A and B are shown apart, each in its own frame.
Chain A
């Protein structure tokens, strides 16, 4: 059974070398889901996982004339996929780390700000600030604040990668901080409107 499928795969590779779109489609249908699922498990993002699949099979299609006839194609695909996934994961990890190192957007600081804003008077300013956030930032921010979800959980709800969620939340916090920092001006304006 195994031998037969190996024999078949080597035939497919030979066909592929002759530009057979049929062979390419067969190999694609056979291997795409496993690559996609692994990529999803490690990258936590359907979009990134789709890009992995696309990169891997684009590489296969472009190297079809240089593959050796008896090349074990599954191992080839797995190696290419593995490298692609790890490269992406490293990039994500690096950006993640860099974001943690930016002092003005860390969680702890924002929490202090928020506690400070607990006063009823400031609550409306905070709400107004939250309401001016772009839709996705607002959703991500509220899910993390109100439901205490992790970035992966929020990402699943919003169909975003955890890194994108983290970026949204950091930007939201930054925006809210800015609005609050400018509250001197805003507050005086608000007072005028209250008087009216």
Chain B
């Protein structure tokens, strides 16, 4: 009935000339499915149009990435296929698997192709190891022979020796896990994960792949951790420039596979540091400030979270803040302080910068 209206709105929309109200109206019509046949025709005739220059071409480097992703995706599809299938069912598998592959393609954008001289991660896992795979829908606790605990996320697995006989305690991880490592200064605990190695003496931390960005991240809760690239998975030229970084609590390293470097950042939800290895942090501790100067508040927050807080102007230290922050997370506390002192904050690497003119 309103086909003309639909066509009119679609025309405005395509030409970027649609108002917010018209935009709502058009999307309401599209969502109703009553104009599918019109939309169908519109898209098809647009596809047949020649040389329209209102929109830019696909940028060449992205065109290149897409081709690479497609070949990569097929490799992954093949890996997922059982080998004994007859040909017709294989195609059914490919069809099903390609759906999964498409979903995973975004992350493939960030992964470079292997250049043959490098080994795959699976190839460096020693044959004699025990494998624990978590196929359940919930986390699974694995206790290792040295007392270290590994909380394995669903669809993740670890490979390790029953007894850690060598100079190091080696664990190979696929997926995501949280580690609580028993202290043993003479036998470092090493976690191998894709291209990186995380070396610890006694601490707790998480390793995972950020689903949004496809980057590997190591986040530290307690203790100190060293993260570096795995030499066995690097080409010879890359080995001379092996990336490495050291993390303290509430910091995470984000690994960039293409640039071969680590970027240190603050974890999304900083938690209070456990003082002197006490197992349980007293989160019930009351934290009430009564007209306290920001200087002493920031010193307290720094020791609680192990995160540096830097001020743009030292006049900010003169400002005062009152409030109960016992049950509030770090970023909310900072927001409250900033609102009260007419300042703002930004996270800059592993530091928090407070900006504002401060108080006299």
Contacts and interface: CB of A to CB of B under 8 A. Distances in A.
Interface of A: 21, 25, 28, 32-38, 40-42, 44, 49-51, 53-55, 57-59, 61-62, 65-66, 78, 81-82, 85-86, 89-90, 92-94, 96-97, 100, 107, 124-125, 128-129, 131-132, 150-153, 156, 162, 179, 185-186, 189-190, 192-193, 196
12 contacts: A33-B57, A51-B105, A51-B106, A55-B102, A61-B71, A62-B94, A65-B91, A82-B40, A93-B28, A100-B24, A150-B19, A193-B340
Interface of B: 13-14, 16, 18-20, 23-24, 27-28, 30-31, 33, 36, 39-40, 43-44, 46-50, 52, 54-58, 62-63, 66-67, 69-71, 73-74, 77, 91, 94-95, 98, 101-102, 105-106, 291, 319-323, 335-336, 338-342, 344, 359
A90 B31 contact: yes
Given A66-B91, A82-B47, A124-B342, A93 B30 contact: yes
B319 A37 contact: no
B319 A156 contact: no
A157 to B, nearest CB: 12
Dominant SS at the A interface?
A: helix
A25 B105 CA distance: 19
A151 to B, nearest CB: 6
A89 B320 contact: no
Contacts of B56: 40
Contact of A40 (B19, B27, B31, B55): B55
A40 to B, nearest CB: 5
Contacts of A156: 16
A136 to B, nearest CB: 14
Contacts of B31: 90, 93-94, 96-97
A153 B47 contact: no
B37 to A, nearest CB: 11
A154 to B, nearest CB: 10
A60 to B, nearest CB: 9
